[in-house]
């Protein structure tokens, strides 16, 4: 029985309109892809300027979609610095691929509820396969499980929640966690969210290569034990965000086995190095860790949002996160069918694994391997170019596609050099050619390139360095 006055249900579009919009959208996506390399990097407008353009009353009545798209083209898309731009050298870029972009659209349309086997058995199976492919690629033991999350922050939070459950039975009093001064801030945030005090985190110094000082770690653990504390977890980083350094995983695994501690490795940035010829050597010891964070929306070329957490004993995920509810009773499965909604923070979850699965199948791992190696090589070429000019000092040589360097000028004090390099990063953004940001290593402010985009050319690198040099000379 249809007693509606309209021919269509609310929120439906006529089929011809759906088709027109869909095709037009695909054209837009392709135009964007083609236009990207020539696009200027835009300095962001102020909040005030955007308030004037975008603050408007709640739209009680609809307007034509073409007007809405035109508004986006005018006021919104020009005001992003696209992180897949070939000259986005700042932070960590997101050089996504078109197959995965389409996969995201497909996933939204199919509306798979990837929280339960009952509602989405096919997607759950794909997620199991993708997690196992990642496990194989990084070299974790068979039987390791895990799942997809929104990103590295969520994966780190998930892993630390499991560590808290497994080693502390969720009792946080007096417990201590160990990491380094190069550990990502998301670990500190996760630690606080999980109910620990900041003093319960022991931040270890790093050596000249920005790797955790294992001797200092062992001493600190011993001191904490002597004082009646409860050491429970070490967080190592495989590819720090600042420099790409990798903590000595085997030495840390030795400490953790001896001391009965959970070893979590944050591989958000760097675990993709496993795809290169020397990567598995660099990650030696990764087969011994309890949990690992991966972030495919970084160096695995996926669009936002996709992170992964791998756990050597996957039953711990369920024990940490599962609850029962009468309204979910029909979803319970016998045997090894998995409800990913029981394994982590989210009950309702999108089919995130699809994009990585589709792109791995379409391009093959060999293409991913070439793409990661290319980023490694680019940073090495950048280092050569920088070393050829006396105005640059290398603070951390090319490592996992990251190089940290600074502009130097004889006669300037340490503070003046810091100011100069900070100003140089800000000035370079005004130039509009490339996006370069600064960081601070052991008190020294420096510029940092992260060169993981396969569409970046060596010419992009050389021109950016030349412009930075000219800018530095002017300042
Ligand atoms: C980027 C990053 C994170 C955070 O990941 P998000 O996806 O941004 O949440 C955590 N750790 C390291 C080492 C990172 O580089």
Q: Domains of the chain by range and CATH? A: 113-349 (3.40.640.10), 365-474 (3.90.1150.170)
**What is the distance in A from the centroid of ligand 1 to the CA of 186?**
7
pLDDT tens readout for residues 51-102: 999 999 999 999 999 999 999 999 999 999 999 999 999 999 999 999 999 9
Residue 169 is encoded by which pair of tokens? 């039975």
Say whether pLDDT at 333 is over 90: no
Examine the pLDDT at 267 and tell me if it is beyond 90: yes
Span 272-317, pLDDT tens digits: 999 999 999 999 999 999 999 999 999 999 999 999 999 999 999 9
Cα 363 to chain centroid, rounded: 21
What is the spatial distance between Cα 386 and Cα 363, in angstroms, rounded to a whole number?
34
Backbone angles phi, psi at 447, to 5 degrees: -95, 155
Query: In the chain, pLDDT over 90 holds for what percent of residues?
Result: 96
What does the pLDDT look like over 410-445, one tens digit per residue? Answer: 999 999 999 999 999 999 999 999 999 999 999 999
315-330 pLDDT per residue, tens: 999 999 998 888 888 8
Any idea which of 12-16, 97-101, 204-208, 428-432 has the lowest mean pLDDT?
A: 428-432
pLDDT at 7: 82
Compute, in angstroms, the gap from residue 64 CA to the centroid of ligand 1: 39
Pair 178, 233: CB distance under 8 Å: yes
Q: What is the pLDDT of residues 19-37, one digit of tens each?
A: 999 999 999 999 999 999 9
Mean pLDDT of the chain: 96
Within 6 A (CB) of ligand 1 lie 92, 151-153, 184, 186, 237, 241, 266, 268-269, 295, 307
pLDDT of 16: 97
Helix axes 98-110, 15-35, angle to 10 degrees: 160
Question: Is residue 340 over pLDDT 80?
Answer: yes
pLDDT at 1 over 70: no
Q: What is the 3-state secondary structure of the chain?
A: CCCCCCCCCCCCCCHHHHHHHHHHHHHHHHHHHHHHHHCCCCCCCCHHHHHHHHCCCCCCCCCCHHHHHHHHHHHHHHHCCCCCCCCECCCCCCCCCHHHHHHHHHHHHHCCCCCCCCCCHHHHHHHHHHHHHHHHHHCCCCCCEEEEECCHHHHHHHHHHHHHHHHHCCCCCCEEEEEECCCCHHHHHHHHHCCCCHHHEEEECECCCCCECHHHHHHHHHHHHHCCCEEEEEEEEECCCCCCCECCHHHHHHHHHHHCCEEEEECCCCHHHHHCCCHHHHCCCHHHCCEEEECCCCCCCCCCCCEEEEECCCHHHHHHHCCCCHHHHHHCCCCCCCCHHHCCCCCCCCCCHHHHHHHHHHHCHHHHHHHHHHHHHHHHHHHHHHHCCCCEEEEEEEECCEEEEEECCCCCCHHHHHHHHHHHHHHHHHHCCCECEEEEECCEEEEEEECCCCCCCHHHHHHHHHHHHHHHHHC
Confidence of residue 4 (pLDDT cuts 50, 70, 90): low
Q: What is the mean pLDDT of residues 393-406?
A: 98
Q: What is the mean pLDDT of residues 200-225?
A: 98
Q: What percent of the chain has pLDDT over 70?
A: 99
241, 306, 352, best to mutate for ligand 1 pocket (most atoms within 8 Å of CB): 241
Atom of ligand 1 nearest to the CA of 186: 10
- Give the residue, out of 90, 91, 151, with the most ligand 1 atoms within 8 A of its beta carbon, to mutate for a pocket test: 151
Confidence of residue 2 (pLDDT cuts 50, 70, 90): low
Average the pLDDT over 378-386 and give the result.
98
CA of 52 from ligand 1 middle (Å) equals 33
d(C-alpha 282, C-alpha 301), whole Å: 21
Pocket test for ligand 1, best of 295, 298, 402 (most atoms within 8 A of CB): 295
CA of 374 to the centre of ligand 1 (A): 21
Mutate which of 152, 189, 345 for ligand 1? The one with the most ligand atoms within 8 Å of its CB, which is 152
Q: What's the whole-model pTM score?
A: 0.97
Structure confidence at residue 328 (pLDDT): 86
CA angle (144 as vertex; 139, 145 as ends), nearest 5? 125
Asked if pLDDT for residue 461 goes beyond 90, the answer is yes
The answer, yes or no, to whether residue 224 has pLDDT greater than 70, is yes
The two three-digit tokens of residue 165, written as one number: 């459950």
Question: Rounded to the nearest whole angstrom, what is the distance from the C-alpha of residue 297 to the centroid of ligand 1?
Answer: 10
pLDDT of 5 strictly over 70 = no
The Cα-based distances of 466 to 401, 407, 471 in angstroms read 20, 12, 9
Mean pLDDT of 226-253: 98
């Amino acid at each position: 029985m249809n007693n509606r006055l309209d021919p269509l249900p609310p929120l439906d579009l006529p089929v011809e309109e759906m088709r027109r919009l869909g095709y037009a959208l695909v054209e837009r996506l392709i135009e964007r892809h083609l236009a990207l390399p020539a696009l200027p990097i835009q300095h962001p407008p102020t909040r005030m300027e955007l308030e004037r353009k975008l603050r408007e009353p709640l739209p009680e009545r609809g307007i034509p979609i073409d007007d809405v798209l035109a508004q986006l083209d005018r006021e919104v898309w020009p005001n992003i610095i696209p992180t897949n731009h070939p000259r986005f050298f700042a932070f960590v870029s997101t050089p996504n691929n078109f197959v995965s972009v389409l996969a995201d659209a497909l996933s939204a349309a199919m509306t798979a509820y990837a929280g339960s086997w009952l509602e989405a058995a096919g997607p759950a199976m794909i997620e199991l396969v993708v997690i196992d492919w990642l496990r194989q690629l990084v070299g974790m033991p068979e039987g390791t499980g895990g799942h997809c999350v929104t990103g590295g922050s969520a994966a780190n939070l998930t892993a630390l929640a499991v560590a808290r459950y497994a080693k502390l039975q969720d009792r946080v009093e007096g417990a201590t966690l160990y990491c380094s001064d190069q550990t990502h801030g998301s670990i500190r945030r996760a630690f606080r969210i999980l109910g620990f005090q900041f003093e319960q985190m022991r931040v270890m110094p790093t050596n000249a290569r920005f790797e955790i000082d294992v001797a200092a770690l062992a001493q600190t653990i011993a001191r904490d034990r002597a004082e009646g504390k409860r050491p429970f977890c070490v967080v190592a980083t495989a590819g720090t965000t600042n420099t790409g350094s990798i903590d000595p995983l085997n030495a840390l695994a030795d400490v953790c086995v001896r001391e009965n501690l959970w070893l979590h490795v944050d591989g958000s940035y760097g675990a993709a190095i496993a795809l290169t010829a020397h990567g598995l050597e660099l990650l030696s010891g990764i087969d011994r860790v309890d949990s690992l964070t991966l972030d495919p929306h970084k160096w695995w070329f996926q669009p936002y949002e996709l992170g992964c957490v791998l756990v050597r004993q996957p039953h711990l995920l369920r024990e940490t996160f599962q609850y029962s509810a009468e309204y979910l009773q029909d979803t319970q499965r016998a045997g090894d069918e998995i409800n990913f909604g029981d394994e982590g923070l989210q009950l309702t979850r999108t089919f995130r694994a699809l994009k990585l699965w589709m792109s791995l199948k379409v391009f093959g791992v060999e293409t991913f391997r070439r793409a990661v190696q290319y980023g490694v090589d680019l940073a090495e070429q950048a280092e050569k170019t920088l070393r050829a000019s006396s105005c640059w000092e290398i603070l951390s040589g090319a490592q996992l596609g990251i190089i940290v360097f600074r502009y130097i000028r004889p006669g300037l004090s340490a503070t003046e050099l810091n100011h100069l390099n900070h100003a140089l990063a800000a000035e370079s953004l005004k130039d509009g050619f490339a996006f370069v940001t600064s960081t601070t290593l052991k008190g020294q402010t420096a510029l940092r390139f992260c060169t993981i985009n396969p569409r970046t050319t060596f010419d992009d690198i050389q021109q950016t360095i030349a412009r930075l040099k000219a800018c530095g000379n002017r300042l």
